[in-house]
Chain A
């Protein structure tokens, strides 16, 4: 894809990705372990005939689909901008240890049942995983901003180390706590989207919306950074400020996503690469397109998770990892061949 991004092309591409999102968002709520009758639902809406299908549709399926979409979109958006700022195609919230740090926060709170309290719509589990994520993003930023530039390989390795450390902390907590708490922990660790109603969903928005907006605004500058940082400065980009805004934006979005859905891996890795293949490397498109495609992808994964082993369901984190692992390897191998 070598043609220049004109306003027309930009709008066309966005319309395409937008349409895909709308189709999936509109279709997904109709599928699940219970098959819903469309006529029952339309009857309820237009003729006020109450039906259990309508209840399921509006109070379970729609919030869940919306959550899947927002979480998938946020993770993919965070991944696509981190890959540019950290100059590494493997960067994404899960690989960098952000999700792991969030998990540590959550697991610690789950291990002390007395601490499970609600602050408005937030549970203490969410708040602590939020804290974990933000600490981790802060640490990565602190590493990355060193003026002579810590090599980005170092940051990736630091992420791996953080992941191992978090794994150790989680095992330690598991070893100490009483066995009946392990189930709750495991469920959280595997990532799931089954926890929500509108209340929890709307509680995410104050974090998600500013984060998403902040990242979307960086698209034009990120192109310059993706090409060359020194050249970007020469062209008039305030590189330091863009980096700061990207870290703040990814911190907000991933923290919000992880705190509610648990660590869901690889969405942030696969989707941005798929988008760049599909519609080029102009980040004015890559960022919103990653959000749309990431959202659509996780919605589909979740759909699969709740239908394939019906009437029970599978944690969605398992599915994204099974798809994402091989993709990660592929990129890794391709990269090592290029070096």
Chain B
């Protein structure tokens, strides 16, 4: 078995040393043959549509008026969305506000869950399973159940508890629509954050904690000086992945508020859905889609850089 030196990769982050599986190295052509179908399929199904979205975004194109030619209108869809359309600006703001609140809320709750679970106690496995379960619940089920069984102004469980202890009845989805959406999504996403942070907590070596205790650190000092700094990369990973998913939040809004009342919970994904399925406006919705892609790429790139920097410089307090 010959190992051609030019195929030796510089060992990249997260990759095992190349030499270990050197004996398995097949012909380069065979190797490409194994990987190419997957890459071509991914490009066709996930990247080609983005290119088409970009193409459509320069056109005036309304599905309900097929006789009007799909005229090339340059950047006018973009100038309309960015300077004139008040709902799109509202949607950007709503998306940012909801994403920040949901990521922040589920991170804090997930940290609390993880700290509670990171001890040995009877029935730990059961407690962990119960805490994880919300993450698997279909988002439409989450929204439909919480909207009716829990948040309904008359028959909802939450209002029964509130009025029983003397508070006023609240129509949560009408009066606090954002808070309701945040609550639904935090319930769903806290277990996700918990899983990542729990893995981080379990990776902190016992002798580090031991050393801190010997040096006289109490539980709070230990938490602040050992646990939080050593969890740093895990926090960043949780925030990065959480943001990528939560920016796309759609089912909860579709089911629970339909973007309302008014445009109070209209986010970018929901507004794009409205523009294409209700206004049938291909040009405008495509421009919104391109802006959403740019928007997400900026956030993903910023966070990825943050992540890489942390891993490169080591963990600091």
- Decide if A and B are genuine partners: no
**Which of B's residues lie within 8 Å of A, judged by CB?**
none
